[in-house]
Amino acid sequence: MRELSYMEALREAMRQAMQKDDRVFLIGEDIGIYGGAFGVSAGLLDEFGPKRIIDTPISEAGIAGACIGAAVTGMRPIGEMQFSDFVVIAMEQLVMQGAKMRFMFGGKAEVPFVMRLAGGSGTGAAAQHSESLENWFVHVPGLKVVMPSSPYDAKGLLLAAIEDNNPIMFFEHKVLYKTKGPVPEEMYTIPLGQSHVVREGKDLTVVATSIMVSRALEAAEQLSKEGIELEIIDPRTLKPLDEKPIIESVIKTGKALIVHEAVKTGGFGGELTAVIMESEAFGYLDAPVKRLAGLDTPIPYNRNLEYHAVPQVENIVEEARKLVKGQY
């Protein structure tokens, strides 16, 4: 199969969705001639024109509101938060309006928009441009939260998100944009709410999200040489969460390590831990469920500090090894 970068896969998903459905349009800051801050929408202005690739002033609340208003009246917008950090300015519209509209109106309104957000650290962008805020939205009933970890998933999940009739927070990772992988040319969807067993193994269940999936895979290759086999599961959508493959895996391995970039306290790892503990997997656990996550700190500018603020391959190797060997 041909290879595309994560960024190209996202662009292709948007292009195909816009070709297929006139109601789909893209709105955000510098998405037109600039091509998006990271180049995700490069070339789309030429193909679809300024009425469907809409550059906005720097007005995040306006972008979110425009998505909601257009969605509830029959369009299918894709909004872009240039850096996911900027979503804080759009919170009211997303949390108080977009997420609640369908429920408040007795289930009669449909609000089909996708908010794409460029998240994560690793680019030296410092404290206000590097956060991982996905779990805030997991806590809001009415929003779906998607986090693709590969080019294949990026395209399939984005197309599924565009087809969905509800507001969706679609968290991309800046460092993943240039990573490559096989992506089919045709349109395809990956259902929202379907976990993916990325690697099978018998010794430890690793649940990882976004960029941590590839880091976990790298860790698994290293540990395999020591005879330790990790089973890696990528939930792909944090909400709705497909719990079954995670629970089944923990029943098989008896141990679980959760890895995400977002800070540990109040992060999605706590939710996943509770999911495991409340399930029938509880009786099969022969070690505590462990979380490996970002330190409870804003992202530092200094390159070395930034590196150490979030889990890296060597941290996953170490934590996984300790868990498997009963050293917790």
Known catalytic residues are: 129
Q: Can you tell me which residue has the tokens 């460029």?
A: 118
Q: x-or-dash pattern for other proteins, window 189-228, by CB under 8 A?
A: ----------------------------------------
**CB nearer to other proteins: pick between 135 and 253:** 135
Residue 125 found at the interface with other proteins (CB under 8 A): yes
Residue 85 found at the interface with other proteins (CB under 8 A): yes
Q: Is 294 helix (H, G, I), strand (E, B) or coil?
A: strand
Complete edge-to-edge strand list for the sheet that includes strand 204-208: 196-199, 230-234, 204-208, 256-263, 290-294
**Interacting span for other proteins (CB under 8 A) from 70-78, 105-113, 149-157, 295-303:** 295-303
Least distance CB 106 / other proteins (angstroms): 30
User: Could you say which residues in the range 127-156 bind other proteins, by CB under 8 A?
Assistant: 127-129
**CB nearer to other proteins: pick between 39 and 193:** 39
Residue 297 found at the interface with other proteins (CB under 8 A): yes
**Residue 96: strand pairing partners:** none
Per-residue DSSP letters for 18-46? HHH-TTEEEEETT-STT--TTSTTTTHHH
Long-range CB pairs of 161-164, under 8 A, 24+ apart, other chains included: 161/114, 161/192, 162/13, 162/14, 162/17, 162/21, 162/24, 162/76, 162/78, 162/114, 163/189, 164/112, 164/114, 164/192
Amino acid at 239: K
At 112, give phi and psi (nearest 5°): -85, 85
Residue 282 found at the interface with other proteins (CB under 8 A): no
**Interacting span for other proteins (CB under 8 A) from 69-77, 146-154, 231-239, 293-301:** 293-301
**CB nearer to other proteins: pick between 202 and 303:** 303
Residue 308 found at the interface with other proteins (CB under 8 A): yes
Structure token digits, residue 129: 């441009």
User: Could you say which residues in the range 57-76 bind other proteins, by CB under 8 A?
Assistant: 57-62
Size of the site for other proteins (CB under 8 A): 40
Residues in touch with other proteins (CB under 8 A): 29-30, 32-35, 37-39, 55-62, 85-86, 88-89, 123-129, 295-298, 300-305, 308-309
